[in-house]
Chains A and B, each alone.
Chain A
Amino acid sequence: MHLLVVVGEAARFAGRVIVESVRPPYEFRETLRQLFELGCRSVPLIAASGFAVGIVLSMHTRASLARFGAEALIPAGLAIALVRETGPLTAGLLLSGRIGAGIGAELGAMKVTEQIDALEATAVDSFRYLVVTRVIACVIALPLLTSLMNFTGMFGGYVAETSITGTPFQAYFRQAFTAIEFSDLIPATLKTMVFGFIIASVASYLGINTNSGTEGVGRASTQSVVASSILLIAANVLLVRIIFFFYPV
């Protein structure tokens, strides 16, 4: 019963985020600040992870394709795997850890130290100022960071491949990009906007409803990561199904 109440409240919270995000006045300055805090500060994590994932994926792709003498397809295979699924999902999960935990802990700490009440007392709509700005920033940041992960992943794949075969940079990326179609890249990248919405909404909901002092802050942070990761994976299944409906293979 309690779970149903929480789910209902969270759904109402998410609905309010959507309504408030299109209603003026807009918090442009704070949204930009959040875009920097949540987006730009995630660049090193995403770039490094993408590079490492690209190397590993390239090694696996080589091992598989070599059995069939199809090493020439490695750039294309790697690019499609990264762009369609590995990039978006890995970026989403990494960011649910970094951003989800951050938002949950920050808003939770603000709640228990009455900073959210202080915002309201200074005639600022705390929901719009704290929640809507973070959700919009995440919705914008996720596709951009996913694109970065895709690119650094392909670059990692190139480094792994050229160290074995000496494949030139231009030839590798020509093969990789030739294999990618609109239906591979755009829907898969745009679906991460939904991931961004889920991560920021879930973390904000849990942060803003924190109680029980510092212990509650820690719990909000952990729960933000767990809940947003599970919801993100579940949403991914649904979104991939929808993408296949509109762009059948």
Chain B
Amino acid sequence: MATDRPAVELRAVSKSFGTRKVLDDVSLTIEAGRSICILGRSGTGKSVSLKTIIGLIRPDTGGVLIEGEDITGLSSRELSRVRKRIGFLFQYAALFDSISVGENVAFPLRRHSDLANDEIRSRASHLLTQVGLGREYDKMPSDLSGGMKKRAGLARALALQPPILLADEPSAGLDPVTAGEIDALLVTLKQQSSTTLIVVTHNIPSARTIADELVFLHEGRIIAQGAPAALDRSDIPLVRQFMTSEGAG
């Protein structure tokens, strides 16, 4: 659902853990329906940015706006309302290990929809089929490989058909074929549902496939931002080095 307001806006966000500043005055506007990839070396604040956007981490200073609403001061109940509009794929999938893979995907539907049980199961199965796990509904997360867990995590993130999807390294640890399939699925989502995508990745080929725009974080600050072609020509050596690498995630 496209709106006039940006889907996500970070306004001068700073966040420190102890004495270490992880995000330093980061401002970023992402229009609805756009897809961006956040790049950068490990430990530069990429995952923290995603968790700040969904309100899992509160910034020390600055504001986070989701579809125009500042979420930094919201109560947990108000935050839940906003989070229903955001899907989140965790770096290590974070599947609930006490319930089956299918029930993981069905979980958001059971919590936040009035659908009948059969309909929920059917939707969860369909989502699992979309990510190539159609036959794994009744398996437990511990029975899946790392790549399969990640795909199941993606299916869960998409369960409520969120207009905004955050993905933390969706192709890390996957074989090239599966990584390509995940990339294709994300591109399809963007094209068919106008989903706003914010993806953290080290995988430059993936980033080129998915992103309209790349954002390069270094030591908590955005040091480069633009279309992939523009970053290819960046005069910052670190950015150029990153862009010319084949970083396989």
- Residues on A facing B (Cβ under 8 Å): 109, 113-115, 117-125, 127
Question: Is there contact, CB below 8 Å, between A123 and B90?
Answer: no
Question: Is there contact, CB below 8 Å, between A121 and B96?
Answer: no
Question: Is there contact, CB below 8 Å, between B94 and A123?
Answer: no
Q: Which residues of B contact A122 (CB under 8 A)?
A: 83, 88, 107-108, 111, 156
Closest residue of B by beta carbon distance from A118: B94
B184 is an interface residue with CB less than 8 A from chain A:
no
Within the complex, the shortest CB–CB distance from B222 to chain A, in Å, comes to: 24
Give the interface residue-count category, chain B.
20 to 34
Closest residue of B by beta carbon distance from A117: B56
Q: Which residues of B contact A127 (CB under 8 A)?
A: 76
Within the complex, the shortest CB–CB distance from A121 to chain B, in Å, comes to: 4
Closest residue of B by beta carbon distance from A116: B94
Closest residue of B by beta carbon distance from A114: B94
Closest residue of A by beta carbon distance from B50: A121
Q: Which of A113, A119, A120, A122 has the most CB of B within 10 A?
A: A122
Cα A123 to Cα B86 with chains together (Å): 9
Question: Is there contact, CB below 8 Å, between A123 and B96?
Answer: no
Q: Which residues of B contact A124 (CB under 8 A)?
A: 80, 111
Closest residue of A by beta carbon distance from B80: A123
A115-B97, A117-B51, A117-B56 given; A123·B92 CB < 8 A: no
Question: Is there contact, CB below 8 Å, between A115 and B94?
Answer: yes
Cα A230 to Cα B182 with chains together (Å): 51
Question: Is there contact, CB below 8 Å, between B97 and A123?
Answer: no
Cα A58 to Cα B84 with chains together (Å): 59
Question: Is there contact, CB below 8 Å, between A125 and B96?
Answer: no
Q: Pull 18 A–B residue pairs with CB atoms less than 8 Å apart, ordered by A.
A: A109-B97, A113-B92, A114-B90, A114-B94, A115-B95, A115-B96, A117-B90, A118-B95, A120-B56, A120-B83, A121-B86, A122-B88, A122-B107, A123-B80, A123-B81, A123-B83, A123-B84, A123-B111
Cα A120 to Cα B80 with chains together (Å): 8
B112 is an interface residue with CB less than 8 A from chain A:
yes
Closest residue of A by beta carbon distance from B76: A125
B 142-188 contacts with A by CB, 8 A = 156
Q: Which residues of A contact B84 (CB under 8 A)?
A: 123
Q: Which of A115, A123, A125 has the most CB of B within 10 A?
A: A123
Known: A114-B90, A114-B91, A125-B77. 4 other contacts (CB 8 A): A114-B94, A119-B96, A121-B90, A123-B84
Q: Which residues of A contact B215 (CB under 8 A)?
A: none
Cα A113 to Cα B77 with chains together (Å): 24
Q: Which residues of B contact A109 (CB under 8 A)?
A: 97
Cα A40 to Cα B188 with chains together (Å): 48
Q: Which residues of A contact B112 (CB under 8 A)?
A: 123
B10 is an interface residue with CB less than 8 A from chain A:
no
B54 is an interface residue with CB less than 8 A from chain A:
yes
Question: Is there contact, CB below 8 Å, between B56 and A121?
Answer: yes
Closest residue of A by beta carbon distance from B85: A123
Q: Which residues of A contact B95 (CB under 8 A)?
A: 115, 118
B 43-97 contacts with A by CB, 8 A = 51, 54-56, 76-77, 80-81, 83-84, 86, 88, 90-92, 94-97
